Chains A and B, each alone.
Chain A
Amino acid sequence: MAKPAKKLVIVTEKILLKKIAKIIEESGASGYTVLETGGKGSRNVRSSGQPSVSDTTANIKFEVLTPDRLMAQNIANRVAREFFTDYAGMIYLCDAEVLYGESFCGPEGCGI
């Protein structure tokens, strides 16, 4: 049986990368993935494809696997409270099943 987990996705401004990474680390999550993204939202089109001389308009997407809903909620609450009044941002949660990931499942493996 694969190990059930929650996948927390945070889409926000690149300028917050380090600050959000710190929150995720402090929450006890074993790791995270960051992608550069672009798209359209309530704060105009923020695309990574436009010519740009600074990083201010770039977007990122964090994916964090958490063992339970509580940890994901803690991260989401802190991020939203600290940043989302002033910065663009969106957070959602998905169900996931981890098939392989030693750091996540431990030395005995996730079990497929």
Chain B
Amino acid sequence: MDFLSLFLMDFVKQLQSPTLAFLIGGMIIAALGSELVIPESICTIIVFMLLTKIGLTGGIAIRNSNLTEMVLPMIFAVIVGILVVFIARYTLAKLPKVKVVDAIATGGLFGAVSGSTMAAGLTLLEEEKIPFEAWAGALYPFMDIPALVTAIVVANIYLNKKKRKELAYSSESFNKQPVAAGDYSDQQDYPGSRQEYLSQQQPTDNRVKIWPIIEESLRGPALSAMLLGLALGIFAQPETVYKSFYDPLFRGLLSILMLVMGMEAWSRIGELRKVAQWYVVYSVIAPFVHGLIAFGLGMIAHYATGFSWGGVVILAVIASSSSDISGPPTLRAGIPSANPSAYIGASTAIGTPVAIGLCIPFFLGLAQALSGN
């Protein structure tokens, strides 16, 4: 019961913390139909600032720390990222009315990491004065990229298999040669029907190329800001600008971002309702399951290499988070046939609020209870 009371106390305290309060505030004003608009360019700069700050913190920490300590948590981050996609493939995808590609994309997004959730977790640990490895934020890409790559590869393998099966069934309509681009006769017009249009599509290359996916996620706004910060932290001496600019602004900007996330979460709920209800169940349960897996692995690292409890919490928080910023465009490009309303709705409308509002205090309480603090 010790754990439960700790959790409840933390939870009530969390409701009052700026992070969650702004998130809920955003949801409420969006529900009331507020016309408040935070310009998109401001969100872009906030995301940049937050992730650069996290990168800088990690980079400065890595410069002064023992790299061998990082190996095990990094391996665990990669394992969680990949595992999450397969969990979705074999649970969510099997549920009625859920399309397999949509489920895989949802798994990829839940495996990927949300910079804002991680920032909220780091802020709370600082507020609670729980020590953690400053480089723990640098685990981000080690979970994010494997999850997105796995999701895109698994989805494309599935789609190719499905396409081959369909080809085997209806071979006669494919006797027409697909028209090469730029080589149209004058009579060639738009396809008359959707069927004909689909049959014109050239069968895609069966091999999924992994490097372009990695390249795309590295070039995404979130990861490039974070990795830039990391590199600057390691190779330059950014301490002065860090102390005077990035660090003091961090929490204020995070509160604005939380407000926007709350508003966006509300506006996405409607879209989610149009897909299947199973997404709602999945996006409530999945953050806890993923977080617990990471928490368990983190504990192994704790006993094996002395990874701190704060670090274990961060690993669990990034596992329970689902990407809002860099993941969606990567998946949209990588699995075009998946319905973005399904995966973005599940992640933004439910996954992120659950991760920030419930999972962060839950894992914090769990760590406090287990460490006997």
Identify the interface centre among A49, A56, A78: most chain B CB within 10 Å of its CB: A56
B201 and A81 contacting across the interface, CB-CB below 8 Å? yes
Q: List 7 A-B contacts (CB under 8 A).
A: A13-B332, A51-B36, A51-B43, A51-B267, A54-B328, A74-B182, A85-B201
CB of B50, distance to nearest CB on chain A (Å): 11
In the assembled complex, the Cα of A15 lies from the Cα of B329 at a distance in Å of 7
Find out whether the CB atom of A51 lies under 8 angstroms from the CB atom of B329: no
When the two chains form their complex, are residues B198 and A85 in contact, meaning their CB atoms are under 8 A apart?
yes
Which of B92-100, B238-246, B333-341 is the contact stretch? B333-341
* A56 & B344 in contact (Cβ 8 Å cutoff): yes
A9: min CB distance to chain B, Å: 16
Q: Are B184 and A74 in contact (CB under 8 A)?
A: yes
> Which residues of A sit under 8 angstroms from B38, Cβ to Cβ?
51
Partner of B267, one of A27, A50, A78: A50
List the B residue with the shortest CB-CB distance to A44.
B271
Q: Does B186 contact A (CB under 8 A)?
A: yes
Cα distance A55–B325 in the bound complex, in angstroms: 8
B184 neighbours in A (Cβ, 8 Å) = 70, 73-74, 77
Rounded to whole angstroms, the CA-CA distance of A54 and B264 in the bound complex is 10
Q: Which residue of A lies closest to B262 (CB)?
A: A51
Is the CB of A92 closer than 8 A to any CB of chain B? no
A110 contacts the other chain (CB 8 A): no
Separation in Å of the B25 CB from the closest CB of chain A? 13
Smallest beta-carbon distance B271→chain A, Å: 6
Supply 16 further A-B pairs (C-beta < 8 A) apart from A54-B328, A57-B344, A73-B184. Answer: A26-B182, A50-B37, A50-B267, A51-B38, A51-B267, A52-B40, A53-B257, A53-B325, A56-B328, A57-B340, A58-B40, A76-B190, A81-B197, A81-B200, A85-B198, A85-B336
Q: How far is the CB of B137 from chain A (nearest CB, A)?
A: 19
Q: Which residues of B contact A80 (CB under 8 A)?
A: 190
Instruction: Using C-beta atoms within 8 Å of the partner chain, give the interface range for chain A.
Output: 20 to 34
Q: By CB atoms of chain A within 10 A, which of B260, B326, B329, B344 has the most?
A: B329
Chain B contact residues, CB within 8 Å of chain A: 36-38, 40, 43, 47, 116, 181-182, 184, 186, 188-190, 197-198, 200-201, 257, 260-261, 263-264, 267, 271, 324-326, 328-329, 332-333, 336-337, 340-341, 344
Question: Across the interface, do A51 and B264 meet the contact criterion of CB distance under 8 Å?
Answer: yes
Contact of A86 among B325, B336, B341 (CB under 8 A): B336
Rounded to whole Å, the gap between the CB of A47 and the closest CB of chain B is 10
**Consensus secondary structure, chain B interface:** helix
Report the Cα distance A54→B43, complex, angstroms.
Answer: 9
C-alpha gap A50/B33 in the complex (Å): 12
Shortest Cβ distance from residue A5 to the other chain B in the assembled complex, whole angstroms: 19
Residues A51 and B332 in contact, CB atoms below 8 Å apart: no
Asked whether, in the complex, the Cβ of A77 is within 8 Å of the Cβ of B264, the reply is: no
Measured between alpha carbons, how far is A15 from B188 in the docked complex, in Å? 28
Q: Which of A15, A53, A70, A85 contacts B337 (CB 8 A)?
A: A85
> Quick one: CB contact mask for A43-83 with B, threshold 8 Å, 1 for yes?
01000111111111110000000000010011011101101
Most buried by B among A15, A44, A54, A77: A54
Known contacts A15-B332, A80-B190, A85-B201, A51 near B263 by CB under 8 Å:
yes
User: In the complex, how many angstroms separate the beta carbon of A67 from the nearest chain B beta carbon?
Assistant: 16
Write the chain B residue with the least CB distance to A49: B37
Q: Do the beta carbons of A54 and B324 come within 8 Å of each other?
A: yes
Q: Smallest distance from the beta carbon of A91 to chain B beta carbons, Å?
A: 9
Q: How far is the CB of A54 from chain B (nearest CB, A)?
A: 5
Contact with A55, one of B197, B263, B329, B337 (Cβ below 8 angstroms): B329
User: Closest 9 A-B residue pairs measured CB to CB?
Assistant: A86-B336, A56-B328, A51-B263, A51-B260, A86-B337, A54-B325, A53-B43, A56-B329, A78-B181
B residues near A85, Cβ cutoff 8 Å: 197-198, 201, 336-337
Report the bound CA distance from A78 to B180 in whole Å: 9
Which residue on chain A has the smallest CB distance to residue B328?
A56
Residue of A nearest to B40 (CB): A52
Name the distance in Å between A107's Cβ and chain B's nearest Cβ: 28
Judged by a CB distance under 8 angstroms, whether A87 is at the interface is: yes
| Chain A residues within 8 Å of B257, by CB | 53
